[in-house]
Amino acid sequence: MNDQPLVERPEIKLAERFEDMAKRLRHNAGTSTFGGACVIVPPGGVDSIEILILDSQGNLAQFFSTIQSRIQVALTDLQEKQRIAQGLGFR
């Protein structure tokens, strides 16, 4: 064994988010109707958006509006943080 410290590669952590969604999809296969799934991993280490909808309707509009709402919340939060930073003199 070598004495080098273990270095976690960030891309492995990112891939785990997709693997976790795949596990959830497999776990729920056949138990209910699939309503859609989404994993969005933005750059910069911010929180990912992960959605799994199990819905007997399989409503496409609901799926896309849920994603849009989650993105809008994240965008509003980001804009507020930028506004506060600018007010404090940071750029």
User: Considering the entire predicted model, what is its pTM?
Assistant: 0.71
Q: How far is CA 91 from CA 79, 83, 86, in A?
A: 13, 10, 6
Q: Which residues contact 21 (CB under 8 A, 6 or more apart)?
A: 37, 39, 50, 52
Q: Is there a domain that residue 60 lies in? A: yes
Percent of the chain with pLDDT over 90: 43
- Residue-wise pLDDT for 5-36, tens only, equals 555 556 668 889 999 999 999 998 877 788 89
69, part of any domain = yes
Whole-number Cα distances in Å, 62 to 13, 35, 67, 68, 90: 29, 9, 9, 10, 39
User: What are the structure tokens assigned to 15, written together?
Assistant: 């891939």
The answer to whether residue 75 sits within a structural domain is yes
What is the number of structural domains in the chain?
1
4 located within any domain: no
**Is the model's pLDDT at 72 over the cut of 90?**
yes
In this structure, are residues 40 and 49 in contact, taking their beta carbons and an 8 Å threshold? Answer: yes
